[in-house]
């Protein structure tokens, strides 16, 4: 199939609103797109666990790649993908989120779905002059589809070729946001916003020093820790594990005085580790040092 159409919005001014006012900081777009990719992967795992998907899961990694020459930033996943009908429903109708419907259907299985508001994908237009989606659904016999939009309410949707299940989001970065084509900047944002997401996120390759210079290896550079210390049982952790994790969060700090491993289920669910730092008389106490990660 091949078609063009108009995205279902209530005003033609939706894109200027997204580009300037949706979020106070444009860098948030990367968190939103990567979160969607993680959601799609988590959904596939849920479908597999309840028998709705019987194929091979394969390597479930979200990949973020920069092409400075083409001026593109691509976020790829091996999740559930989308059919043409699902693109029409979840992409072309702004502010309708597939996560809400999925959560209701799988409320006993899926507790790590992030998106709830349906606008996260469109944050890509804050930094992009054009966005493309190349996707293939996990469903048997699914036809790969390509969606393209240049930041106006008009889009194109056509059949394409894609060998593997999943979705590629291709952002054509505009001239005002070329900083997001710097791999170091992208890695920094992934570490800031995606450090503990539950699916491995790869960006670039691991670099090593060899013969006095830094060289790239074949090993994926995995950004995040998918099993942080706070999700483990205290019986599984040694003092060295707690201290190592503390130094990952607060580099260059002294060892903590002590810590408490929290597991609260009422009046809300909270798991975490509360560290108590050593405080010296000649050093001003630093506040606002709590890290909070929420689905």
pLDDT, tens digit (0-9, with 9 covering 90-100), for 30-52: 999 999 999 999 999 999 999 99
Residue 215 lies in a domain: no
CA–CA distances in Å: residue 33 to residues 39, 115, 118, 152, 273: 10, 10, 11, 19, 28
164 class by beta-carbon count within 10 Å (0-12 exposed, 13-18 middle, 19+ buried) = exposed
Whether residues 153 and 64 fall in one domain = yes
Predicted pLDDT of residue 294: 66
Q: 112 is written with which tokens?
A: 């790590």
Residue 287 reports pLDDT greater than 70: no
In this predicted structure, which of 154-158, 176-180, 257-261, 273-277 has the lowest mean pLDDT? 273-277
Give yes or no: residues 9 and 98 share one domain. yes
> In Å, how far from its chain's centre is CA 215?
27
pLDDT at 9 over 90: no
What integer is the mean pLDDT of 171-190?
A: 96
pLDDT at 103: 56
pLDDT category at 117 given cuts 50, 70, 90 is very low
Is 110 a domain residue?
yes
Judging by beta carbons within 10 Å of its beta carbon (0-12, 13-18, 19+), is residue 85 exposed, middle or buried?
exposed
Question: Angle at CA 38, nearest 5°, toward 33 and 40?
Answer: 95
pLDDT score at 187? 96
| 83-101 per-position pLDDT tens digit | 999 999 888 876 545 555 6
| DSSP code, position 89 | H
Residue 43, domain member (yes or no):
yes
Domain around 88: 2-207
Same-domain pairing of 135 and 246: no
> Is this prediction's pTM over 0.75?
yes
| Same domain for 132 and 42 | yes
Domain count, the chain: 2
Q: Which of 138, 185, 146, 187 is nearest to 168 (CA)?
A: 146
Name 64's bridge partners.
Answer: 75, 203
pLDDT for residue 265: 86
Residues 147 and 65 in one domain: yes
**DSSP character at residue 230:** G
- Same domain? 79 vs 191: yes
């Amino acid at each position: 199939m091949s078609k063009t159409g108009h995205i279902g919005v209530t005003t033609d001014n939706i894109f200027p609103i997204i580009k300037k006012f949706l979020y106070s900081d444009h860098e948030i777009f990367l968190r939103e797109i990567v979160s969607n990719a993680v959601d799609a992967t988590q959904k596939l795992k849920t479908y597999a666990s309840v028998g709705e998907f019987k194929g091979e899961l394969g390597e479930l990694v979200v990949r973020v790649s920069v092409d400075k020459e083409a001026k593109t930033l691509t976020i790829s996943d091996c999740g559930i993908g989308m059919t043409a009908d699902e693109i029409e429903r979840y992409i072309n109708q702004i502010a309708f989120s597939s996560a809400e419907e999925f959560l209701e259907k799988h409320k006993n299985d899926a507790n790590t779905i992030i998106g709830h508001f349906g606008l996260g994908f469109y944050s890509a237009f804050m930094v992009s002059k054009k966005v493309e989606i190349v996707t293939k659904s996990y469903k048997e016999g699914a036809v790969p589809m390509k969606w393209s939009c240049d930041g106006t309410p008009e889009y194109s949707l056509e059949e394409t070729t894609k060998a593997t299940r999943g979705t590629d989001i291709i952002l054509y970065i505009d001239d005002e946001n070329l900083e997001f084509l710097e791999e170091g900047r992208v890695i920094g944002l992934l570490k800031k916003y995606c450090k503990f997401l539950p699916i491995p996120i790869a960006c670039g390759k691991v670099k090593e020093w060899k013969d006095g210079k830094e060289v790239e290896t074949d090993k994926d550079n995995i950004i995040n820790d998918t099993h942080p210390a706070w999700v483990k049982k205290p019986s599984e952790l040694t003092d060295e594990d707690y201290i190592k994790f503390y130094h990952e969060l607060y580099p260059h700090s002294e060892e903590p005085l002590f810590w408490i491993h929290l597991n609260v289920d009422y009046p809300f669910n909270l798991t975490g580790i509360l560290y108590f730092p050593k405080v010296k008389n000649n050093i001003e106490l630093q506040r606002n040092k709590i890290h909070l990660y929420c689905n």
